[in-house]
Amino acid sequence: MIMEVLIASSAEEICELLGQDNSRQLLAGGTDFMVEVNYRHRSPSSVIAIDRVPELRNWHHDGDSVVIGSCVTYREIERGPLATLVPALAQAARTVGSPQIRNAGTIGGNIGTASPAGDMIPVLSALGAEVSLRSSEGKREISLDDLIVGVKQTSLGQGEFIESVRVPVLESPQEFLKVGSRSAMVISVTSLALITYPKTQSVGIGLGAVNPRPTRARQAEEFIKDFLNWESMQVDPSGLDHFKELVSEASRPIDDHRSIAAYRRHSIGVLAQRALTRIFSERSPSV
């Protein structure tokens, strides 16, 4: 019945507190955590509040990438300089909950919760995000795709916590699209991020809410390469139907109370095509 709440003031202190007792649970924005506590789905005896730790609350520019502390909120990602550096992440952050939720909820929380419908997940996946983990044993980096191993499951070790996430800054256009029945404040039925990489002349496509863990539509990414013209930023429309199919095929959606698998499979393909054709206008390269 009694819950101890420890307020950490540094990352070092989190390591110590977890080192003493690795069953302690981490509280950041609390937007998922507190709902679970209130409904008694989670009854922790000891909680470490990490949302006041300065190094976790900050982000910084580091060459071609930005390093975003795990306690940076959706609100901070949604507007301001981060929105210019990683627009797809900002677009995704805008779709999370209500303004109150976005003021509290954090990117690290979204990753750690590891929900298939987490709105940051497809963007981070398409960006090839690297997550920094820390514990009293030291630090390690892991790709987001390897960190999340299943529905609400991560490969975080005992006493380990998410310190930050590193993503590349904007090189050329990116898109995030999400389907929900409501115009705002809705859990994703399907979502998709499309990131363009002009240097490698490739695209990264992250799928949301259609697989148990982060999924890139690799075959579609590979297939569409030949249909893109990076100088004119055009796409040969003859490749679009198959591209859409490949994206749909990369999904393994389920039926639940939010939607049905058939619709999810359909809509994820539509989102991919729309994201792509927003960035690459539809015109035959020969014209």
Partner 1 sequence: MTATETYKVGARSGVGVSSQRPDAVPKATGEFSFSSDLSSHNMLWGKTLRSPHPSARIRNIDYSEALAISGVHAILTASDVPGKNLFGLEHPDQPVLADDIVRYAGEPIALVAAEHPEIAADAISRIHVDFEVLNPLVDAESAVTADPIHPEGNVIRHLVIDYGDPTSSGDVTVEGTYEVGMQDQAFMGTESGMAVPSPDGSVDLYISTQWLHSDQNQIIEALNLPEDMVRLTLAGVGGAFGGREDVSMHVHLCMLALHTGRPVKMIYDRNESFLGHVHRHPAKIWYRHHANKDGLLVKVEGKIILDGGAYASTTSAVLANACCFSTGPYKVDNAQIEGWGVRTNNPPCGAMRGFGNVQTCFAIEAQMDKIASALDIDPVELRLKNALEPGDQIITGQKITGAAPVKEVISSLADHPMPEPAINDLLARPGGTGRTTDQKHVKRGVGFAVSIKNLMFAEGFDDSSEALCEVNDGSVAIHTACVEVGQGFVTLVHQIAEEVLGVSDITVIPADTSIGSAGSTSASRQTWMSGGAVLKACEAVVVNLIEQIAEEEGVKYENLDGALVSEDGTKTIPIAEALRGRSFQEKVVHRHAPTFPLDEKGQGNAHVSFAFAAHRAVVDVDQELGLVRVVEIATSQDVGRILNPIQAVGQIEGGITQGLGLAVLEELVMKNGVIQNANFTDYLLPTALDTPPIEIASLIEEPEPGAPFGAKGIGEPPTISSTPAVVAAIRDATGLDLRRVPVRPEDIALE
User: Which residues fall within 8 angstroms of residue 57, CB to CB, at 6 or more apart?
Assistant: 51, 69, 71, 72
Question: Distance between CA atoms of 121 and 128, rounded to whole angstroms?
Answer: 10
38 vs 286 by CB, closer to partner 1: 38
| Interface pick for partner 1 out of 185, 199, 232, 238 (rule CB under 8 A) | 185
User: Which residues fall within 8 angstroms of residue 205, CB to CB, at 6 or more apart?
Assistant: 126, 192, 193, 194, 195, 216, 217, 220, 221, 247, 272, 275
Q: Does 266 bind partner 1 (CB under 8 A)?
A: yes
183 vs 286 by CB, closer to partner 1: 183
The span of 155-163, 186-194, 218-226, 232-240 binding partner 1 (CB under 8 A) equals 186-194
> 208, 214, 215: which is closest to 154 by C-alpha?
214
135 vs 267 by CB, closer to partner 1: 267
Q: Does 5 bind partner 1 (CB under 8 A)?
A: no
Q: Does 120 bind partner 1 (CB under 8 A)?
A: no
Q: Does 75 bind partner 1 (CB under 8 A)?
A: no
Q: Does 233 bind partner 1 (CB under 8 A)?
A: no
Q: Does 184 bind partner 1 (CB under 8 A)?
A: yes
Question: Distance between CA atoms of 222 and 203, rounded to whole angstroms?
Answer: 8
Q: What single letter denotes the amino acid at residue 257?
A: H
Q: Applying CB under 8 A, which residues contact partner 1?
A: 1, 38-40, 91, 94-95, 175-187, 189, 191, 256-260, 262-263, 266-267, 270-271, 274, 278
